[in-house]
Amino acid sequence: MSRSIAWGVALALLALGSAPAARGDAVSDFYKDKQLKLVVGYGTGGGYDVYARQLARYLGKYVPGAPAVIVQNMPGAGSLRAANFIYSVAPKDGTTLGTFSRNMPLMGLVGKNENVQYDPRRFTWLGSSSSYANDAYVMFVRADTPFRSIEDLRKTNERPLVLGGTAEGATGNDVPVILRDALGLNLKMITGYPDGNAIFLAVDRKEVDGRTVGMSAVQSSHAEWLKPGVMRMLVQFGRATRLPSLADVPTARELATTETNRALIELAELPYSLARPYAAPPGIPPERAKALQDAFLAAHRDPQYLDEAAKLKIDVSPIDGAAVLAALDRIADAPPDVLAYIGKLLASAKE
């Protein structure tokens, strides 16, 4: 009897020990010979696209089964189209993931847009390639405009600063609206451009005076803006302190004149801790979700990935899916009046 019990215990331990390997083999078998689709909520050449294509070159290497990764651009409504697709339409088997505007989770939480078809806390979050540790969202204006500082934008008797944007929910549109209200700026938004490249071109053609855009996106895709005498940088957003390389450019928080306005800015800046977010649909089998989350972080530690990212001059300061959810909780826990007010502002951004 004792010998039978011993054999039973041994077999049970063996089975327990082999269970993780079996699960790993199942994930590998699933992804082998499959393609991973990485959906980008913007057109080609912009900041989100640059990050996504960089990730696509390395992600499959760390997913069990080493699937090929293909990028599909799905621009529309400031990446709202892509966010809705990933949440509601994309297959929930672990073969599709995507990236969209960092403001999409905020838009979902404030609940002011009837076109939002997702609950941001139910995505399968992989993480964010950047937490904005080494980046800033900057208001650029052409050097041939009369606007030399934020104080010039507070003069209501002058013509407004005209900025270009894509659509509701995109930070290139929403940030100027928030700054307009919180800092009392005299500016006007021209929205509807299909993607970031179109806005760069509109500024260069003098259709608009400038735009708000991430510093890393300018460095990687439109570096001529950083040459002397081409553009002016009036304010940096998304940071509690000035980016060291932009020591002469004030932060939005510095320019706020009341505590209420500063609180509004700080809430609107929270999404920048997930500056380049990646998510898969809800309901993915847990073992595949874990494989994608692990692969996401592993790709960002790959020495060759980091070397290429440095050459592209993009900020790599990744956070994991749990950190994304923690940031969403901080947004949701904001004072109701401040959250409601920012929701009203974001709703007005499409008008």
Token pair listed for 19: 């269970």
Nearest alpha carbon to residue 254 among 244, 233, 239, 273: 239
Spans of all domains in the chain? 8-131+273-334, 137-271
pLDDT in tens, 87-130: 999 999 999 999 999 989 988 998 778 899 999 999 999 999 99
Q: How far apart are CA 10 and CA 13, in angstroms?
A: 5
Return the CATH fold of 137-271.
Answer: D-Maltodextrin-Binding Protein; domain 2 (3.40.190)
For residue range 276-285, list pLDDT tens digits in order.
999 999 999 9
Q: According to the model, what pLDDT value does residue 215 have?
A: 94
Enter the tokens of residue 94: 């672990």
Q: pLDDT tens, 303-348?
A: 999 999 999 989 999 999 999 999 999 999 988 888 888 887 766 6
CATH 3.40.190.150 fits 8-131+273-334, yes or no: yes
For residue 344, count other CB atoms closer than 10 A to its CB.
12
137-271: same fold as 8-131+273-334? Answer: yes
Q: Give the pLDDT means over successive 10-residue stretches in the chain (351 positions).
A: 52 50 80 96 90 98 98 93 97 98 90 89 98 94 96 91 79 83 94 88 97 92 95 96 96 94 91 94 98 98 97 94 96 88 69 40
Q: Give residue 110's identity as a one-letter amino acid code.
A: V
Whole-model pTM?
0.81
pLDDT value for 144: 97
